Amino acid sequence: MDTIYSVLGAILPFEAYQFNFMRNAFLAILLLTPLLGLLGTMAVNHQMAFFSDALGHSALTGIGLGIIFGLGNDLVAMLIFGIIWAILICLIRQFGSASADTVISVFSSTSVAAGLLILARGGKFAKYSSLLIGDILAVTPGDLFWLLIALICTLVFWALLYNSLLLTSVDSFLARSRGVKTILVEIAFVVMVAVAVMLSIRWVGVMLINALLILPAAAGRNIARSARQHAAWSVAIALFSGLVGLTLSYYLDTSAGASIVLISAMCYAVSLAVRSIRK
């Protein structure tokens, strides 16, 4: 890591990046924003904009159940519960009669209520309140390793299943007629989203994770003229928002997560203007 820190210190002419905690946050942004940017495009295409919100809320329940069952690692508890919760949402959405937004809303409200019920016992919720807003500056070199693994797995998943996912999002009946196992493809997708959300929730926060996943993808969709451009614009906007927001948060002494989301919102506003001009 010392070599990487030295390189970053040399190529980044900002006072902020002379500190190791800012360099860790910078590297986390480089790994996290492309991950969320790619997954966000399919979340938007599948009309599952609030899916990550439901998963973010389920992190609280996962930690609570981990405490009850004696799991010593909060991340493992969040991952296990988040994956199970994501698969349940996907299956009920597929086979139930309710609309996707209704199913997601039910799961979201249930998970946050269950999490608060468990964690607030004995007045201990304050210990976990940091999960609500996150802290990207708390990233450690060990966390960066897991983010790198998650990004690599997402890229492999993207290469293998992108066409099937895209066809499923456009027309699931057509996808099935072409031999695509739509249910398995969607389950694989929601599991990847669950893993990405649970890995990043400690640094982004429950309140902001949905915005960081959806805003760059929504902005990219306004600008893009094709599916490939959508993915490229989404990743580019996510990276831009992350790096600019992180840098500004240091100099303005504000929350890094909130700054990143506000920059993403500004990009979305600009994309709306670009779309209007094109029309």
* Cα dihedral 129, 135, 141, 142 sign: positive
When computed from its CA atoms, the radius of gyration of the chain, rounded to whole angstroms, is 19
pLDDT in tens, 143-156: 888 888 888 988 88
Report CA-CA distances (Å) from 214 to 41, 114, 125, 259: 8, 25, 28, 15
Complete DSSP assignment for 41-105: HHHHHTT-TTHHHHHHHHHHHHHHHHHHTT-S-HHHHHHHHHHHHHHHHHHHHHHSSS-HHHHHH
pLDDT of residue 264: 92
* Average pLDDT value for the chain: 82
pTM of the model: 0.84
In the numeric block, the tokens 């966390």 are attached to 143
CA distance 232 to 223: 11
Model confidence band, residue 123 (pLDDT cutoffs 50, 70, 90): low
The one-character DSSP state at 178 is: T
Average the pLDDT over 231-253 and give the result.
Answer: 91
Tokens of 166: 């895209």
Name the one residue in this structure whose structure tokens are 């905690």. 21
What are the residue boundaries of the structural domains of the chain, listed by start? 2-278
Q: Which residues of 187-208 are buried (b: 16+ CB within 10 A; e: fewer)?
A: bbbbbbbbbbbbbbbbbbbbbb
Cβ–Cβ under 8 Å, residues 160 and 234? no
pLDDT computed for residue 192 by the predictor:
87
User: Which of these ranges, 4-13, 142-151, 222-231, has the smallest mean pLDDT?
Assistant: 4-13
Mean pLDDT of 249-264: 88
| Three-state SS sequence of 137-177 | HHCCHHHHHHHHHHHHHHHHHHHHHHHHHHHHHHCHHHHHH
Tokens for 205, please give them: 């926060």
Query: C-alpha 40: how far from its chain's center?
Result: 7
Better-scored residue on pLDDT, 193 or 69: 193
DSSP 225: S
* Architecture, CATH, for domain 2-278: Orthogonal Bundle (1.10)
User: Which has the higher per-residue pLDDT, 195 or 2?
Assistant: 195
Q: Which residue has the higher pLDDT, 64 or 219?
A: 219
Let me know the angle formed at the C-alpha of 33 by 125 and 103, rounded to the nearest 5 degrees.
Answer: 60
